[in-house]
């Protein structure tokens, strides 16, 4: 006779399922799935979030596409409830570097892990420039996430001044080296998002040559740490929209996108998902 599970047992199974989905995200990504990720930043309301997810759930998502959404913390629970068995992954926009304690306003990796959250962004340029997240802090946050089976998406990128001063490779390497110093070989469990600061929210896009050269450079730095080529996933972010997604997506070593503004409307995000599947 089948045993009837009580509420706690069901909850435990669901948590295990969500955790397993999270742990395997980086591995699954290694199967050359194309990642289309949304960073909502400090936007959207509860009502808008529910409406957005309802629309997204009704959309056919091609097999080669993995959708990820990073909403504000208070809405994560909606993702947990509405996306229980969906192919759409979700994550936090940041995580504390500390394990627990007197850190008012922070949310720990253990807490995110508790609610079955499989992903988190770390090191977004807005965190680095407005909240003083240094590369060492970013490394600690990524480590805290991994310790709770949460895959970090590490954002790196140079400013316009650094690009124009031809120092961008140096800057990107410093940002990656710090993570490698903190994580060692576990860096292979991270996704990387290259977001030139000067392209974020500006409508300015690097040339395809610049994207190609920079992604190749990042790939080579990761390879120099011993990360296997098939484990490396580098997303491009900065003014991505339906008009440029196919062009950028066709560049070698671009494994997906991290999208801000154009991910806030379901219609526009769905359009990008569709176009990305045709790359």
Output the smallest distance, CB 202 to ligand 13P, in A.
Answer: 7
Instruction: Name which of 124 and 253 has its Cβ closer to ligand 13P.
Output: 124
Q: Which of 154, 176, 179, 200 binds ligand 13P (CB under 6 A)?
A: 200
Residues 229-268 touching ligand 13P, rule: CB under 6 A, are: 237-240, 258-262
Contact stretch for ligand 13P (CB under 6 A) within 72-80, 131-139, 161-169, 194-202: 194-202
Instruction: Name which of 180 and 269 has its Cβ closer to ligand 13P.
Output: 269
Contact mark string toward ligand 13P, 30..69, x via CB under 6 A:
---------x------------------------------
Beta carbons of 232 and 223 less than 8 angstroms apart: yes
Catalytic residues: 124, 195
In angstroms, the CA 14 to CA 113 distance is 12
Token pair 């996108």 in the structure block, residue: 257
Question: CA separation (Å) from 260 to 1, 3, 48, 101, 238?
Answer: 51, 46, 16, 32, 8
* 113 class by beta-carbon count within 10 Å (0-12 exposed, 13-18 middle, 19+ buried): buried
In angstroms, the CA 198 to CA 211 distance is 13
Contact positions vs ligand 13P (CB under 6 A) = 39, 124, 195, 200-201, 237-240, 258-262
């Amino acid at each position: 006779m089948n045993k009837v599970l009580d509420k706690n047992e069901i909850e435990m199974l669901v948590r295990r399922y969500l955790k397993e989905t999270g742990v395997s995200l980086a591995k699954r990504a290694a199967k050359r799935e194309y990642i289309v990720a949304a960073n909502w930043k400090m936007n959207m309301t509860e009502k808008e979030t529910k409406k957005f997810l309802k629309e997204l759930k009704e959309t056919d998502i091609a097999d080669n596409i993995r959708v990820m959404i990073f909403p504000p913390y208070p809405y994560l629970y909606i993702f947990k409830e509405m996306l229980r068995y969906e192919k759409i992954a979700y994550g936090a926009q940041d995580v504390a570097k500390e394990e627990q304690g007197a850190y008012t306003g922070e949310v720990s990796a253990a807490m995110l892990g508790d609610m079955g959250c499989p992903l988190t962004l770390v090191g977004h340029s807005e965190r680095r420039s407005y909240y003083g997240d240094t590369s060492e802090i970013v490394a600690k946050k990524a480590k805290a996430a991994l310790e709770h089976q949460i895959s970090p998406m590490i954002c790196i990128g140079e400013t316009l001044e650094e690009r124009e001063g031809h120092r961008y490779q140096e800057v990107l390497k410093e940002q990656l080296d710090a993570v490698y110093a903190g994580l060692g070989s576990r860096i292979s469990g991270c996704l990387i998002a290259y977001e030139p600061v000067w392209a974020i929210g500006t409508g300015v896009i690097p040339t395809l040559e610049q994207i190609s050269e920079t992604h190749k450079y990042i790939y080579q730095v990761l390879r120099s740490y011993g990360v296997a080529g098939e484990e490396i996933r580098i997303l491009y972010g900065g003014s991505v929209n339906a008009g440029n997604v196919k062009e950028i997506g066709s560049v070698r070593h671009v494994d997906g996108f991290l999208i801000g503004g154009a991910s806030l409307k379901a219609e526009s995000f769905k359009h990008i998902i569709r176009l990305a599947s045709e790359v």
